[in-house]
Homo-oligomer: A and B are copies of this chain.
Amino acid sequence: MKLAFIGLGNMGYPMAGHLAKQGYDITVYNRTTAKAQHWVEQYGFTYALSPLMAVANADMVFICVGNDNDLSDVVLGKNGIMQGLKSGAIVVDHSTVSAELSRDLAVLLVQRNVDFMDAPVSGGQQGAINGQLSIMCGAKEEVFAKAQPILSAYGKTITHMGQIGSGQLTKMVNQICVAGLLQGLAEGIHFAQKSGIDVEKALNVISHGAASSWQMINRYQTMLAEQYNHGFAVDWMRKDLDICLHEAAKNGAQLPVTQLVNQFYGEVQDLGGGRWDTSSLLVRLQQKN
């Protein structure tokens, strides 16, 4: 079984590393070559100088890039994988992109007898490093069945959601829930700070009840300490919420708070917080006063 992995970012780097540690014959590609070189120094195997070269003879190709444009480029661009994929290969896309692009690429790939699976992940960089990601998959049943054992190198929960695109749609549901939740948490903390009570004590008390959330439990202390150089970056969240809102414009879903929070993240970017954790919505509220 020969693998290719394209995109050695915060997520892709450790994910490809887990595949290498499992002993799969793997070739990696990264836009910035130095990072691919560093990866090879750490894990062995080889790196390629283009996506096209990386996928030569690969049975399974993993992609983990930034956005719709990056994914299109990697697949359809000048040195993209399209012309190099061997018949019968499977392309597994871990990027968070639109369901529409997933479906479009699947149609193009099937013409070359290549199967596609959208497989966005959640669990963050730490989940990637620990091999504990949650992976939401959209693919034909038999494609999922072939990919699943290999994904278990870094996936803790690997779920077949349904047809192509349904992995991305599930990821969007996740991001929509997170957006409203984080703004609520930010407003709660902001209110607590303004009201003069012991904020840490208050958060500790309410984190055991109906207001409790993963974000509250894992982020209230860093929010109180004004630490945002960790976690999931605002730039990425904006990209994801743009995808959600674009999809909602098509399917007719009403997302008033998601839309508002997306604007708020734009204001956090204006404050220089593009790389801050998504919990930095609190900074925006504090700046407003």
Give the interface SS of chain A, mostly helix, strand, loop or mixed.
helix
Q: Is the CB of B205 within 8 A of A214?
A: no
Chain B contacts for A169, CB-based, 8 A: 192, 195-197, 202
Chain copies in the assembled complex:
2
Q: Is the CB of A180 within 8 A of B177?
A: no
Give A180-230 interface residues, CB cut-off 8 Å to B: 180-185, 187-198, 201-203, 205-206, 208-216
A176 interface residue per 8 A CB criterion? yes
Q: Is the CB of A173 within 8 A of B201?
A: no
Distance between Cα atoms of A209 and B161 in the complex (Å): 16
Q: Is the CB of A187 within 8 A of B260?
A: no
Chain B contacts for A124, CB-based, 8 A: 210
Answer whether A180 and B184 are a contact pair too, CB < 8 Å, given A174-B211, A232-B210.
yes
Chain A interfacial positions (CB closer than 8 Å to B): 99, 122-124, 134, 136, 157, 159, 161-162, 166, 169-170, 172-185, 187-198, 201-203, 205-206, 208-216, 232, 244, 247-248, 251-258, 260-261, 264, 285, 288-289
